[in-house]
Amino acid sequence: MHHVVEINSLDELIGYRADWNALFAATPRAAFFQTLDWLETYWTHFGGGQTLRVLIVYDDDRAIGILPLCIRRERYKLGNLRVLTYPFHNWGTYYGPIGPDRAVTLAAGLSHIRRTRRNWDLLDLRWADEQLDASCTPSAMCQAGFLADRQPLAEAGVIDLHGAWEEYLAARGSKFRNNLRRWERRLGERGELTHVRYRPAGEAQGDADPNWPLYDACEEIARRSWQGSSADGTTISSDAVRPFVRAAHAAAARLGMLDLNLLLVDGEPLAFAYNYQHGGLLQGLRVGLDPTRPSDGAGNLLYMRVIESSYRLGDRQYELGIGSLEAKRFIITHTETSYRYTHFPLSVRAQALRAKRVLKRWWNGRPERASRAQPA
């Protein structure tokens, strides 16, 4: 018989680390963002003003799944709403329950939410990967009595690392390969090119050094670039998130889930690609170029060296993250869309937000507007 234990404090949650780690190891396509170490780091830096609602699902006395949720206040034109969602805050491409049975965990967790006092204005389960989720989220919401509105959330560029490096490179086309040779030649004329890839094995293997000099080089490139003056405050050099990203960096190194890449010219950092990795899956967090020096395709060249190295390491997939798809179109193999499933309770503001979303979809889908959007 399934029952749910709800945890509302980080200190109490730490006592369930063994259960969390065991379920994480059995989670399909698990990512660093789903570790307790990441949640602990995130909550320490951004938990103020939020309410933790982590639901641990048991079958008799055995933990079989974890549904990490939180309540955070978000600003809408209609006013502030208390949103029950994942404690993720747009840091990656997908998120979801911890454990081998996504459907059971979601069903039990959402049934618990239905039975308990509603201290939220909106239920918004975001970042559901369409293939991985396989409709588990909307089915569980329906089963619990939550009518779910489905909406695309973000599109990410992805590289499947199947076959061999030579096959991948050949599929990029002759024009791209010619450009790649030209970038190699031009950058090589400025000095010796070196690709540094740092991927510690983790504390369990006695290899948990964060290698701060390499990380500081990435941060310095970001500070010199447009990221240094970015208004959204989510780059690795932004004061608002810099302490958090550094703490997450140390946690990723400790878990053996860090993947840091630098392109050097005569030993001087020119570009970086900062990723997390686990089980052969790479997730891109941030990239950057030093704007004070001619790039000569350094960004694409670094990507190519990372991809070639990943083939040798046996990686299976590289997610480049959301946004900038036009710039990534030559190197990705396909795109993946994540979705949000929203339940609007019977309240004035929630229903007004629902009506606004429906109207917007209708307006954007009008035939005359769709025809105008088509290229001539």
The whole domain housing 226 covers 163-315
List the one residue out of 8, 37, 64 whose CA is nearest residue 204.
37
The CATH number given to whatever domain includes residue 28 is 3.40.630.30
DSSP class of 226: G
Where do we find the tokens 């949640």?
A: 39
At 196, phi and psi to the nearest 5? -100, 125
Banded model confidence at residue 370, pLDDT cuts 50, 70, 90: very low
pLDDT at residue 229 above 80?
no
List the one residue out of 34, 26, 18, 54 whose CA is nearest residue 251.
34
Q: What pLDDT is recorded for position 348?
A: 81
Q: What pLDDT is recorded for position 363?
A: 80
Q: For the chain, how big is the Rg over CA atoms in Å?
A: 22
Banded model confidence at residue 230, pLDDT cuts 50, 70, 90: low
> Quick one: 170 and 134 in the same domain?
no
pLDDT at residue 346 above 50?
yes
Q: Could you give the number of structural domains in the chain?
A: 2
Q: What pLDDT is recorded for position 67?
A: 98
Q: Is residue 292 part of a domain?
A: yes
> Quick one: 267 and 287 in the same domain?
yes
How large is the average pLDDT for residues 42-59? Answer: 97
pLDDT at residue 368 above 80?
no
Q: What pLDDT is recorded for position 369?
A: 47
Q: What pLDDT is recorded for position 16?
A: 98
Distance, CA of 348 to CA of 364 (rounded, Å): 24
Task: Give the lowest-confidence range in 170-179, 197-206, 348-357.
Answer: 348-357
Q: Is residue 322 part of a domain?
A: no
Please tell me which residue, 346 or 376, carries the higher pLDDT value. Answer: 346
> Quick one: 18 and 146 in the same domain?
yes
CB neighbour list of residue 251: distance below 8 Å, 6 or more residues apart: 35, 37, 38, 40, 41
> Quick one: 350 and 210 in the same domain?
no
